[in-house]
Amino acid sequence: MTRRWTLRSSMVEGTTPADTTVGERPSLVQRVFRARGFTDSAVIARFCEPKLTHLHDPSLLPGVNEAAARLVAALRTNQSIAIYGDYDVDGITATAIIFHTLKTIAPNARVRHYVPHRVDEGYGINCDALRTLKSEGVDLVVSVDCGITAVRSAQTAREIGLELIITDHHSLPPEGVELPNALMVHPRLPGRDGAYPFGDLCGAGVAFKLAWRLCSLWCGSERVSKQLQELLMHLLPLAALGTIADVVPLVDENRTIAAWGLRLIKRTPLVGLQALITACGLDDEKIDSETVGFRLAPRLNACGRLGHATDAMRLLTEASPEEAMVLAQQLHEQNGHRQALERTIFEQATAMAEDGGFDRDDRRAIVLAHESWHPGVVGIVCSRMVERYGRPTVLLSRQNGVCKGSARSIDGYSIHAGIDSGREFLTTFGGHDMAAGLTFSADHLDAFTEKLIAHANANIAAADLMPGLHIDCEAGVEELTEDAVKKLQAMSPFGRGNHQPLICIREAILHEPPRAVGTQGKHLQLRLRQSAGGRDRWLKAVWFNGGGHAVNLASGMTLDLVIEPKLNHWQGRISVEAHVRDVRIAHHVAVSVIG
């Protein structure tokens, strides 16, 4: 009950809502689209029905033609290739995309994958790993989801005679700062035909575009053989996993990749992905972006966070069906251990944040370090801290005189820029506007903290510190029909840049006391009533993790609620229900409006 409610602007100036006659009230669905700037029927149709033809020509991606040509040459001459990935879902899926492409094109190709150890080696391309790969006979290294700031590593590769192709999507260094001396593929690098049309691909998205261009070059034309067409379709679920898990904006071609990948994921021939779906208990459930974010992705991430991501990498590349089932179950068990660690760290971090005054208006970023925190888990806790306190958060594991950890941000503030403001204190760092990783000497903790807070104070308005809910529109309970909710679901997949529709319900009466449900009564079930047109309309609502608010709610109260409309499928019946995001006692107070 502490969130700031903001109503999106209800009309784009100078336009008329699609399919609406002047004088008529637009439907709920039309009002939601209009709030997001969609007023043209054709644009709405394109948004709701993403097609593969909406993907941009891969040859426009800066550096991709040269990289694909070099890989074709390496395959034709049987050179040894190593794919150097990152240990998160984006890096693992990106690696798998390139691995399967090379092995499908040339089944006997000498291709291997390498993923650094999160704790022992850290993020990015490290020089010792390159030397090891060279000593083991590797001729060409292709990085995925890392490397755009790896100047020293690129120089080491040249010194030891190892070719390096860097494919990445993370923020480019500031203008004037040196780039690696290597062949690079990156959506924000200047290309020979100008800027790439979409700069927000994730690592797996970049890898998919490279795989596509590699296939077309191998076939000697823009047309791809039937076998390789099928391969690219099979790779879309991997690209979708990376896209959703990396929390890049689900717009433009990210939306197309996510939508088609989710559509195809249950039909995947990849045995590792099949095993992961089974281990998550999803064989008979629909897989959407929420399922990926809360069930599939955490299990792929678990081993990389707590140990070495080799198992997850092997699961999605080389594992046999029997091995895949074993690996998937191991990831499932590791994820349970990760959840327990996460809960402990979160409890400690919230206490430290409040004791340290990081919830005050004059400290608009949180920076905390602790000796017992696992560096592989702090990133997840960062996200929970951002959600709780509404401000960018850096959590660090402090061990042996070194602080190492992760950062997450709020919309509108670049945590990458904030960390860069304290560059003088850092050993390494990298990332993008919403997330980053960093390492520095523990001696610099206080100085770095003050530098980041000063940057955040100067760039974050006080009003933006309270966690906010951007409401699409207000509606009556009678408008929440099965047909309307189905049409709203056509806006999926949901995620950053395309959030679940949020609707404000005004003056609904709580018909009976809230009922605690779930483990230890963590959730609340509400039965709501609202009068419209002389009739009572009813709505069942579920407030996940709202159990603590039961003491503030009583039968007969008049409430304003922010909800996500959902369809509940139970025993062959479909009904509309609301997932509650926030509740207020109704006081007829208008919410602010943003344009």
- Burial pattern 389-422, b for ≥16 Cβ within 10 A else e, equals bbbbbbbbbbbeeebbbbbbbbeebbbbbbbbbb
409 within domain boundaries: yes
Q: Number of structural domains, the chain? A: 3
Residue 545 sits in a domain of what CATH number? 2.40.50.140
Residue 164 confidence (pLDDT):
98
pTM flag (> 0.85): yes
- Weakest mean pLDDT among 5-9, 126-130, 199-203: 5-9
* pLDDT higher than 70, residue 591: no
pLDDT tens readout for residues 489-516: 999 999 989 999 999 999 999 999 999 9
Residue-level length of the chain:
595
SS3 178: coil
Type of residue numbered 36: R
Band (2; pLDDT cuts 50, 70, 90):
low
Query: Other CB atoms closer than 10 Å to residue 178's CB: what's the count?
Result: 9
Confidence of residue 167 (pLDDT cuts 50, 70, 90): very high
Q: What angle do CA 218, 270, 254 make, to 5 degrees?
A: 70
Report the C-alpha gap between 203 and 430 in whole angstroms: 14
Q: What crossing angle do the helices spanning 226-245 and 203-218 adopt, rounded to 10°?
A: 170
pLDDT in tens, 338-354: 999 999 999 999 999 99
Domain residue limits at 515? 472-594
- Of 235, 269, 299, the residue at which a domain comes to its end is 235
356-373 tens-digit pLDDT: 999 999 999 999 999 999
To the nearest whole percent, how much of the chain has pLDDT over 90?
A: 79
pLDDT confidence of residue 191 = 74
29: in domain: no
Q: Specify whether 401 is located in the same domain as 450.
A: yes
* Backbone angles phi and psi of 326, in degrees to 5: -65, -45
Rounded Cα–Cα distance for residues 124 and 156 (Å): 14
User: For 64-99, how does the pLDDT look when each residue is reduced to its tens digit (9 = 90+)?
Assistant: 999 999 999 999 999 999 999 999 999 999 999 999
Answer with the one of 181, 205, 235 that is the final residue of a domain: 235
pLDDT for position 587: 65
Same domain, 402 and 487: no
Predicted pLDDT of residue 111: 98
Q: Return the DSSP state at 142.
A: E
**CA pair distance 29, 26, nearest whole angstrom:** 8
Average pLDDT, the chain: 91
Gap between the Cα atoms of 501 and 471, Å rounded: 8
Local confidence band at 520 (pLDDT 50, 70, 90 cut-offs) = confident
> In the predicted model, is pLDDT for residue 151 greater than 80?
yes
Q: Is residue 228 part of a domain?
A: yes
- Does 218 lie in the same domain as 151? yes
Q: In the prediction, which pLDDT does 221 show?
A: 76
In this model, does residue 477 exceed pLDDT 70? yes
Q: Are residues 161 and 224 in the same domain?
A: yes
Residues 103 and 218 occupy one common structural domain:
yes
Is 514 part of a structural domain of the chain?
Answer: yes
* CA distances to 151, 166, 525 from 181, in Å: 7, 10, 58
Residues 481 and 583 placed together within one structural domain of the fold: yes
Question: Is 427 found in the same domain as 408?
Answer: yes
Q: For residue 21, what pLDDT is reported?
A: 41
Write the CATH number for 451: 3.10.310.30
Residue pLDDT, tens place only, 39-73? 998 999 999 999 999 999 999 999 999 999 999 99
How much is the pLDDT for 193?
65
pLDDT tens digit sequence for 275-305: 999 999 999 899 999 999 999 999 999 888 8
Residue 76 and residue 54: Cα distance in Å, rounded?
Answer: 32
* Per-residue pLDDT, 279: 94
CB contact at 8 A, 422 and 451: yes
Give the Cβ contact number of residue 590 at 10 Å.
7
**103-120 per-position pLDDT tens digit:** 999 999 999 999 998 878
Q: Given pLDDT bands bounded at 50, 70 and 90, which one contains residue 17?
A: very low
Is there a single domain that holds both residue 425 and residue 544? no
440 lies in the same domain as 494: no
Instruction: Give domain status of residue 270, yes or no.
Output: no
Q: Are residues 442 and 497 in the same domain?
A: no
Answer yes or no: do 423 and 528 share one domain. no
pLDDT value for 192: 67
Residue 73 lies in a domain: yes
Distances (CA, A) of 494 to 84, 154, 293: 30, 38, 11
* Residues 6 or more apart whose Cβ sits within 8 Å of residue 283: 277
Tell me the pairing of strands 435-441 and 426-431. antiparallel
Q: Looking at 407, 438, 464, which one is the last position of a domain?
A: 464
* Cα torsion 480, 482, 486, 489: sign: positive
Helix (H) or strand (E) holding 165: strand 163-167
Give the CATH number for residue 201: 3.90.1640.30
Closest CA to 509 of 524, 527, 532, 533: 527
Same-domain status, 558 and 493: yes
Of the two residues 555 and 23, the one the predictor is more confident about is: 555
Q: Rounded to whole angstroms, how far apart are CA atoms 501 and 254? A: 19
- pLDDT higher than 60, residue 12: no
pLDDT per residue over 398-453, tens digit each? 999 999 999 999 988 999 999 999 999 999 888 888 889 999 999 999 999 999 99
Using CA atoms, how far apart are residues 346 and 368, in angstroms rounded to an integer? Answer: 11
Residue 503 lies in a domain: yes
Question: For the segment 168-219, what is each residue's pLDDT rounded down to a tens digit?
Answer: 999 888 888 899 999 999 999 987 667 899 999 999 999 999 999 999 999 9
Q: Would residue 126 count as lying in a domain? A: yes
Q: CA-to-CA distance for 12 and 17, rounded, in angstroms?
A: 9
